[in-house]
Structure 1
Amino acid sequence: MDKRNIAVEVVYALADRQKLVSLSVPCGTTVREAALRSGLDRDFPGLDLANSPLGVFGKVVPGAEERVLEEGERVEIYRPLIADPKEIRKLRAARAAGARAGGRPAD
């Protein structure tokens, strides 16, 4: 069995602060395992590393428990969305249409 380690980073951010942790993990470490090893839940109370959505370099990883990391990859821990982006776009478009028509749509 290969005992080599690889270097990876795990990041998490809130609106007002962020943290990046550099880790040396065994080859074969999954995205979820790296997030759990990061210990970021100690710095961000309420962060659920076992269930948070995860990504690698800006792309969501649906199978974070199976996806094995490679040297130098960055694991990103995502926060839940506060608002549905589609609904926000619809609202913005309705407001813009109302402004062009000279009125303002009701909220």
Structure 2
Amino acid sequence: MDKRNIAVEVVYGLPDKQKLLKLSVPAGTTVREAAIRSAMDSYFPGLDLTQSPLGIFGKAVAKPEERVLEEGERVEIYRPLIADPKEVRKQRAAKAAKARQETPAE
């Protein structure tokens, strides 16, 4: 079994506060394990590291419990979306259509 450690970063941010932590973790550590090891929830009360969506360098990781980290990777902890982007686009399109119907044709 490989006993060496690798260097990774774990980041999380809110609009008014961000945190980046550099960690040394055992080779074979998964994305989820690194997030939990970071203890980022101690800086951001209410953050659930066991359920939060995670990514590496801006790309979501579908199975963070299985994806093993490599040297130098940055784990990103994502916030839940406040509004569903598809629903927002749908509402905007409906509003635009209504405005077109109300505008008299010339």
* TM-score of Structure 1 vs Structure 2, range by shorter chain: 0.7 to 0.9
Q: TM-score, normalised by structure 1?
A: 0.87
- Structure 1 gap ranges (5+): none
1:20-49 superposed Cα distances (whole Å, 9 cap, x missing partner)? 111111100000000001111000000010
Equivalent residues in 2 for 1:1-107, closer than 5 Å: 1-99=1-99, 101=100, 103=102
Q: Deviations over 1:30-87 (max 9, x none)?
A: 0000000111100000001011111111111121111100011111111111111001
Shift of the alpha carbon at 1:95? Answer: 3.0
Give the number of aligned pairs.
103
RMSD of aligned C-alpha atoms? 1.6
Q: Which amino acid aligns with 2:63?
A: G
The DSSP-based 3-state class of the residue aligned with 2:35 is: helix
**Inter-partner Cα distance in structure 1 for 2:13 and 2:96:** 31
Question: Quick check: which has more Rg, 1 or 2?
Answer: 2
CA offsets 1:3-28 (integer angstroms, 9 cap, x no match): 11111111111121111111111100
- How far is the alpha carbon of 1:98 from its aligned partner? 4.2
What's the TM-score, normalizing by structure 2? 0.87
Taking only the aligned residue pairs, the percentage that are identical comes to 75
Q: Distance in 1 between matches of 2:6 and 2:68?
A: 11
